[in-house]
Amino acid sequence: MTVLHLADEREAADLAAFLARLLHYDRSAAVRLQAAGTALAVFGRPPSFEVLAVRAVRLAKPYEDGLDVMLDVTVSAGELLETVDETAATAAVPAAVTGPPWAGVLPPRGGWRPEAGLPGPDALRAMVGAAVAEFRRRTQELAPELRTRTELDRIGREIWSRTVGETGLPVRAVHAAQSLGFLRPAGAASEGAGLFSSGAWLRLRTPYGSIVVRRAGHATGLGLSVR
């Protein structure tokens, strides 16, 4: 079994926290792992948000057991979480699984350009809070016979599909960033949050991870990286 040596205990703890949050939204979640050199990228897709979440993890050394070029595999998030040893700062890569469709299509690795108009972390969190409050208010105002799953989903899509100003970034991406622990209170490293684009993709990047979504109005064949 391939053993990943993480840079330190904190990297191991952050990886475990990310996997646990993914499993909170999908108990059968899968993640795609890509590693080269001393960098590991962990891709996941929490179904509630319809976004791609990316957690970068620093490695102390590449791999063991003969993997000397690149690791690229889709595995069970739950099985991977079980192998994380925070004290030893290691994780063992479980057996590969048949990945969900999203795992075969990832955003490009390069070509990302900065986009203007992203508010600061405090404003982003306030935006999410206002959206959550609106959803609760509007659903509570529904008559019991109208409080169906279809109607709740309709209200949710309307609210979470709104964009952040003129950026084109849907509010659901910001909600995902906050829920997955990527958007933290200002004062530490949250000031590093930024918005980037590459082809059909938008990327909300923070020091703790990234949320990637397809921009509205772009054809599905643009900007894809199948590998």
* pLDDT tens readout for residues 79-107: 999 999 999 999 999 999 998 999 988 99
Q: What is the DSSP letter of 189?
A: S
CA distance 90 to 63: 11
User: Is the pLDDT reported for residue 220 higher than 50?
Assistant: no
* pLDDT tens readout for residues 176-219: 999 999 988 765 544 578 999 999 999 999 999 999 998 765 54
Please provide the DSSP assignment of 44-87 as one string.
Answer: E--TTTT-EEEEEEEEEE--STT--S-EEEEEEHHHHHHH-BTT
Q: What is the pTM of this model?
A: 0.87
Structure tokens at 47: 């179904």
Q: Does 139 or 225 have the greater pLDDT score? A: 139
Domains (range + CATH), the chain: 3-104 (3.10.150), 113-214 (no CATH)
227 pLDDT tier (thresholds 50, 70, 90): very low
pLDDT of residue 184: 80
pLDDT of residue 63: 56
48 pLDDT tier (thresholds 50, 70, 90): confident
